[in-house]
Structure 1
């Protein structure tokens, strides 16, 4: 094999995308991490086998800098994300360290028309978990966002929130081979 052919083969190997079986395995692990985080935080906050009811989910626990109420469901969601991300690092990144990114921040790239990594918060998109070509976070394969619905209605219908629909639509703009999905402890992988 000549030098150019070896270089092309090496470049092809470096750009490897995950096989369908690997994506399915990662989806399974993400669901398990979601369930684990939900259980651990609920038990820590409410006791073994207990979950918050709708009234508790909607309870105001503080106010943001704009004076808008912060509800218990948002506070619980933040705690559950922390536990879930620790699980994703332990279970998913251990197996696929070069093909998975946790909370990368993307913006649009005017030159290429595709996504670009950024540190800017304003106008950027920050999915929870992104599967991508080996060491190529701009070559997106699949996008997942962890959701921890709290109220009975949101557990049964996680896309009832217009915010979730808009968020998934914005993630779809980043491209990828799969339609962006949410992961919930109750329903697993959900695509609209």
Structure 2
């Protein structure tokens, strides 16, 4: 086989995207990771079968470097993300190490005077070995407040985030993953 043909075959294999069945399997596992993270953190923090109410979610637990309050819901979200990422590493990356990235960074030029938008989605499925070629983009959401649990897309920042992620030109519409609803796409 001539070198050019081998190089083309190699490049084709390198750019391989996940098949629909693999994407479905990964999406199922992402939902399981979100449920596991929600369950583990709630059990650890509040006891068996318990979870925070709205008052607890809004409780101030500290202050950031600007003096702004840090609420319990943000702290719980961080803890749940940590558990979910460990699950993704354990359950997904071991099967798809070349097609899945956790918190990759993307810099997109916005066209407004050379400004850049820096995005860091939670999980990205991409061409084999090419995180810059997104296939599907996911963000874990662990709503704490009752109204947000029933309608996670009601949060304007979440909708804005999904719109921004759409600029990565993946084959799937960007999605959020919640323990309550699983995969949610607009």
- TM-score with structure 1 setting the length: 0.91
**Which of 117, 125, 128 pairs up with 2:119?**
125
Distance 1:23 1:156 in 2: 26
Secondary structure in 1 matching 2:42: helix
Secondary structure in 1 matching 2:126: strand
Partners of 2:100 and 2:126 within 8 A in 1? yes
What is the deviation of 1:173? 1.2
Counterpart residue number, 2:170: 176
* Number of residue-to-residue matches in the alignment: 182
- TM-score with structure 2 setting the length: 0.94
What is the deviation of 1:175? 1.4
Post-superposition, which runs of at least 4 consecutive aligned residues in structure 1 deviate over 4 A? none
RMSD between superposed Cα atoms in Å? 1.5
Counterpart residue number, 1:11: 11
In structure 2, relative to structure 1, the CA distance for the partners of 1:48 and 1:169 (3 Å cut) is same
Distance 2:74 2:153 in 1: 16
Matches within 5 A, 1:62-81: 62-81=62-81
Distance 1:54 1:24 in 2: 33
Counterpart residue number, 2:100: 100
Counterpart residue number, 1:140: 134
Q: Which runs of 5+ in 1 are unaligned?
A: 114-121
Partners of 2:106 and 2:119 within 8 A in 1? yes
What is the deviation of 1:109? 5.7
In the alignment, is residue 189 of structure 1 matched against residue 175 of structure 2?
A: no
Q: Which runs of 5+ in 2 are unaligned?
A: none
Deviations 1:91-132 (A, max 9, x none): 00011000000001110269xx9xxxxxxxx84100000000
What is the deviation of 1:162? 0.6
Deviations 1:34-59 (A, max 9, x none): 00000000000000111111111111
Counterpart residue number, 1:25: 25
Distance 1:174 1:15 in 2: 16
